Chains A and B, each alone.
Chain A
């Protein structure tokens, strides 16, 4: 709070003061008071005016400066009413009470939406668990039937993958921590994802190679399984039919501080203009449009969870040649210390 601005705001009081003082001086002169006495009265009035102005300024300055400072420094500015220390002047108390009321009302309002989102998430999760029952049933029926229908089973797998995507989307949107970071065997997770995609890989005649994944990483096994599944199903989906042999190669490279998991395929690749945007929400790109099977959500969720769990991910690609996804897991010293 600057005095100049404060004073500008109160310029009217100075005008009134000067007018009244002039009137008083004229009046006193009319009654023929001594010049000294008139001057003394004028000084007394002036002292009153200035001191009133300064006292009022400093009282308010203290309150408003703290308020502005707190607002500037707070990460969540809406919490500022909580920081107010009740001021000694009336207007301040009005402001305080209004701020508290609006804050509370906004919190209530936000709660309505939070509750709504929470309910929706709960319902979606429950619904997904429910729909998995008929899917399980269908898988078993198809498996048990004598003329095992591979084409139908492939479609059921597709349904299941899409349902899993929405489950993990809902989970990743949730502010709460929904994952457990622990020591996990990369070979086991890669194995689980490979087995899940086995039929699609074999039916598409893809040469599937895995090497050097016998390492442990710190991650959530279920989440990593989901993420790898998204990446691998992209590799399968975007294979290049013009090439004689399709290859998917999964490998891990280890150095002192990190482990890098690489998922390479010699598929159709991603164009240079699409590449920077593949992790954007709902981005489908040229490939997604041409093959019209993309939701644009898979890689978005993958990237988001990588950020949350502290893994790095990036993609290299050349159109018509290859795509390689690289995921970096950092070795966390903290875990090693607690384990000792």
Chain B
């Protein structure tokens, strides 16, 4: 399980953020002692840091600079100051992403997910993913079954499938899927999403996996691994 360190002095936000991350399959740690923030972050051995710019004792940007001399852990800067200058400064100090408050929680999760995906794809694999007895080529939009049979997915179907896959065995809400699609500049409406999911099901049904995407009424969809 990926561990995420939250550096945020507003107790209400850090508490809610912890709940959000914990519910989304991460382990969240909240930094308590800002007097020695850099040591604290390193001691948490986190896989990712959510760093607020306005924190006690020290400016978040300076903390990031300090942290970068000792660690390459991915950092997402979170701030209520939104100007191009602040963003440029943060990125130049080595932030991996920059999110402004108030953020859409689903978007924040997507950004976190994107950073982890980027890191994982760096380790060897040529982009193919194996799931059950099929090989998935996300770039080409192709799924190949062990029988050698291939099916071709549209970009939207692939985006939906990949999102379900990376959240396998967890209920994914329609809102999450929609946010993921819109985030990929595919501006679907509600009907189009339903159509895409039924087409996806039809593809798998043809290949003999009828049960692969289940609907949880009022909650969303779940991919059974």
Q: Say which one of B83-91, B116-124, B136-144, B159-167 lies at the interface with A.
A: B83-91
**Is B115 an interface residue when CB atoms closer than 8 A count as contact?**
no
**Is A320 an interface residue when CB atoms closer than 8 A count as contact?**
no
> CA A143 – CA B17 in complex, angstroms?
10
Q: What is the size, in residues, of chain A's interface with B at 8 Å between Cβ atoms?
A: 38
Known: A129-B54, A196-B104. A222 touches B84 (CB 8 A): yes
Contact of A140 among B13, B54, B85, B182 (CB under 8 A): B13
**Is A16 an interface residue when CB atoms closer than 8 A count as contact?**
no
> CA A156 – CA B101 in complex, angstroms?
13
A-B contact list, 15 entries, CB within 8 Å:
A129-B80, A134-B12, A136-B102, A136-B103, A138-B102, A139-B105, A143-B106, A144-B23, A179-B84, A196-B104, A202-B178, A202-B189, A202-B190, A209-B187, A210-B187
Nearest residue, chain A, Cβ from B19: A144
B170 to chain A, nearest CB (A): 16
Asked whether, in the complex, the Cβ of A141 is within 8 Å of the Cβ of B84, the reply is no
> CA A137 – CA B104 in complex, angstroms?
11
Asked whether, in the complex, the Cβ of A141 is within 8 Å of the Cβ of B16, the reply is yes
Asked whether, in the complex, the Cβ of A144 is within 8 Å of the Cβ of B80, the reply is no
Asked whether, in the complex, the Cβ of B12 is within 8 Å of the Cβ of A137, the reply is yes
> CA A179 – CA B85 in complex, angstroms?
8
- The majority secondary structure among interface residues of chain B is helix
Nearest first, the 9 A-B pairs at minimum CB distance are A140-B16, A132-B80, A136-B102, A129-B80, A143-B105, A137-B12, A136-B101, A135-B102, A180-B84
Q: Say which one of A113-121, A187-195, A270-278, A326-334 lies at the interface with B.
A: A187-195
Q: What is the size, in residues, of chain B's interface with A at 8 Å between Cβ atoms?
A: 32
**Is A44 an interface residue when CB atoms closer than 8 A count as contact?**
no
Asked whether, in the complex, the Cβ of B105 is within 8 Å of the Cβ of A198, the reply is no
**Is B10 an interface residue when CB atoms closer than 8 A count as contact?**
yes
Asked whether, in the complex, the Cβ of A195 is within 8 Å of the Cβ of B189, the reply is no
B157 to chain A, nearest CB (A): 19
Asked whether, in the complex, the Cβ of A210 is within 8 Å of the Cβ of B19, the reply is no
Taking each of B80, B88, B107, B179, which has the highest tally of chain A beta carbons within 10 Å of its own beta carbon? B80
B103 to chain A, nearest CB (A): 7
> CA A130 – CA B9 in complex, angstroms?
12
> CA A135 – CA B10 in complex, angstroms?
12
